[in-house]
Chain A
Amino acid sequence: MKILVIEDEQGLRENITSYLNVDGNICESCSTLTMSLQKLSDYDYDCVLLDIGLPDGEGFGVLEYLSIKQKTEAVLIISARNSLDDKLKGLNIGADDYLTKPFHLAELKARLMAVYRRKAFNTSNKLVFNEISVDMQGRTVEINQTPIILTRKEYDMLLYFMANKGKVISKNAIAEHLWGDEMDMYDSFDFIYTHIKNLRRKILEVGGRDYLTSIYGMGYKFTD
């Protein structure tokens, strides 16, 4: 997957790029509107990560450019503005999703994968990892062709882990992914443990392998 990160904050840009540069992804980055338009006209990408507030203009310009050139890049906006106006405007002129700063890299990757899959495989697609196969459309999971029944939270969690495989995901990131702002972190950590326990049990019951490693006091890692 080829990704272009358009973000003016250097620290953020570097971390995003290094986090995404795995599994054969090619991640490029730039920090201004002019440079991003240059890159988009020279190359084709699968996904674009777009910060709205750029030093030389609003990131909406990128969306307009893409729509004029009829390019098919999936666009995920990352913005510090939690304003509904901006969100609606972005989604109306061609963005596929909108993520508000601050965010966890795991969340960013999961969203990016989701918008990419939606665009590239036209929603009917299966996500396969060894013996685990997830039907994105039907929201069903099979282990070695044996279907298992997951709750909504368990299903969301599994997808989240699969999108970030090989990475340590903090409990904060998981909590924010599953509950958003509605719950205090403190409350949700216990629930994460319960959901992980159940998910692990359900996979093991039908002969799946245990890919989940617990990182003491910090979070979890889904890895081979």
Chain B
Amino acid sequence: MKLSQHYTRTSVYATLTVLVIGAVIYYFAINYIGTQQLDRALQQQLTEAEEYIRSNDGNPQLYDLDRDHAVFVKTNRQLLLKRFFDTTYFNPKEQRSEAGRAVEDLVKQKDSNYKVVITVSRAGQKNLIELISIITLALLAGLLAVLFVINKYMLNGLWKPFQLTLNEIKQFNIADVNQFKGKPSKVDEFTELNGAIREMSLRVTHDYLNLKQFTENASHEMMTPLAVVTTKLDTLIQDETLSAEQLGQIAGIYSSVNKSSRLNQSLLLLAKLENKLVTEEEPISLETVIETKILQFQELIEKKELTIRHTLYPRQIVASKYLVDILLNNFFSNAIRHNLPGGFIIIDLNFDQLSIKNTGAANTLNGQQIFERFQKGKDSQGAGLGLTLVKNICQLYGYTIQYEYETGWHKFVVTF
């Protein structure tokens, strides 16, 4: 829900509540005042009637204040408490009953006591309340309408600078040279927001550059000692007095150094991928690259007596040549290494996807785990980063990668 809707909702609820409570209080107040006034009028009539009866000896029943609105009943009671009460009033003009207000009292005429009841109509007061209610309702409706209009047009206008800022943030790319600018606004809050975002983007860009620097420095710091070890070994093996056993030890060191330098390269590449530091892109014809790869791996394929079949439709992608190379190297070396002797590799490339499947061990791999770092098979020689690199390269270009197992076939599908 949009902020303006939230605001409208809250303001409407608040207004409605206040107005409803106000109307109720208003109603009771008017009712009370009206009743007070009627009671005063009744009191006056009662006083007049009493005076009349006291001064005239005639039958009080003959006294009619306003045509039958005063009723005298002879009673034996000596005491009757004066009281005002709501009752119905019969309007002789209109010939119908209306709400009325009455007073009851005891009047003495010589020896006899009379109970007198005077009734008046409340119709006037009711009309007044109705009128006031209508005006209140109309006010309420008007207020709501005004609130809606203000929220719809005024608030949206107010939030315009926010929308502009938001759009700019969405387009912000850390690798871009373009910095966040932010349109100047007359509203203090938005100016402050733009300022804060500008500062943040500067800081983030700075950190990003630092990180890039760090990646390169880390590479340098780790690769140089490895280079020293390698060249020292290269020098050491020139010694002709070395025994077979010593040479065997050196061979072991060679392969460990080689492993750690590859591991280091993979880790640095992963860091680069995760920080989106690889930005070189060029159009690449995948079908050509795949054909070249098949030739490159020919020796390995022949050694394992594998049969490779491929259906390649032209598909051009825009990506880093280096990364595509790593991607395919991983697919190929996996498909060869984990294949059975005399097995098959089938490669399909079309506009939507690239699929590579190979025959292999008759058990499915964990489709989630295989893409995790340092997850490797029993007979894998690598560090277990190959498929992680594959996944991250795919992510970088917005491709999806899937693993499927189907009765002896292991299949990797990249969907562009």
Contacts and interface: CB of A to CB of B under 8 A. Distances in A.
Interface of A: 9, 11-12, 15-16, 18-19, 53, 80-85, 100-106, 167-168, 170-173, 176, 181-187, 190-191, 215-219
B230 A167 contact: no
Nearest to B257: A102
B231 A184 contact: no
A16 B299 CA distance: 33
B265 A217 contact: no
B255 interface: yes
A84 B247 CA distance: 36
17 contacts: A12-B227, A12-B231, A15-B234, A16-B231, A80-B221, A80-B224, A102-B230, A172-B254, A172-B258, A184-B381, A185-B255, A185-B381, A186-B255, A218-B237, A218-B247, A218-B250, A218-B251
Interface residues of B, number: 45
B299 A12 contact: no
A15 B299 CA distance: 34
A18 B238 CA distance: 11
B234 A104 contact: yes
Which one of B228, B230, B262 has the highest number of Cβ atoms from chain A below 10 Å of its Cβ? Answer: B230
B382 A184 contact: yes
Contacts, number: 115
B333 A184 contact: yes
A173 B333 CA distance: 20
Interface string B290-305: 0000001101100100
Contacts of B183: none
A216 to B, nearest CB: 5
A147 to B, nearest CB: 25
Contact of A170 (B237, B297, B320, B382): B237
B234 A173 contact: yes
A168 B258 contact: no
A26 to B, nearest CB: 19
B285 to A, nearest CB: 19
Contact of A101 (B216, B224, B322): B224
Nearest to A78: B227
B284 to A, nearest CB: 14
B274 to A, nearest CB: 16
A106 B233 CA distance: 11
A150 to B, nearest CB: 15
A183 B316 CA distance: 26
Nearest to B259: A185
Given A19-B231, A182-B296, A184-B333, A81 B220 contact: yes
A77 B322 CA distance: 20
Interface in B248-266: 248, 250-251, 254-255, 257-258, 261-262, 265
B208 to A, nearest CB: 15
B224 A12 contact: yes
Contact of A215 (B220, B237, B303): B237
A170 B255 CA distance: 11
Given A11-B232, A84-B280, A215-B237, A102 B223 contact: yes
Nearest to A85: B280
Contacts of A184: 333, 337, 381-382
B237 A182 contact: no
B241 to A, nearest CB: 12
A42 B228 CA distance: 29
Contacts of A183: 300, 333
B224 A170 contact: no
Contact of A81 (B219, B244, B296, B320): B219
B333 A12 contact: no
B229 interface: yes
B368 interface: no
B226 interface: yes
Contact of B247 (A15, A100, A106, A217): A217
Interface in B163-193: none
Given A11-B231, A80-B220, 11 more contacts: A81-B220, A101-B223, A102-B227, A102-B229, A103-B227, A167-B238, A170-B254, A181-B329, A185-B255, A186-B381, A215-B247
Contacts of B382: 184
B235 A15 contact: yes
Contacts of A104: 230-231, 234
A171 B254 CA distance: 9
Given A172-B254, A172-B258, A216-B244, A105 B237 contact: no
B234 A9 contact: no
Contacts of A9: 224, 227-228
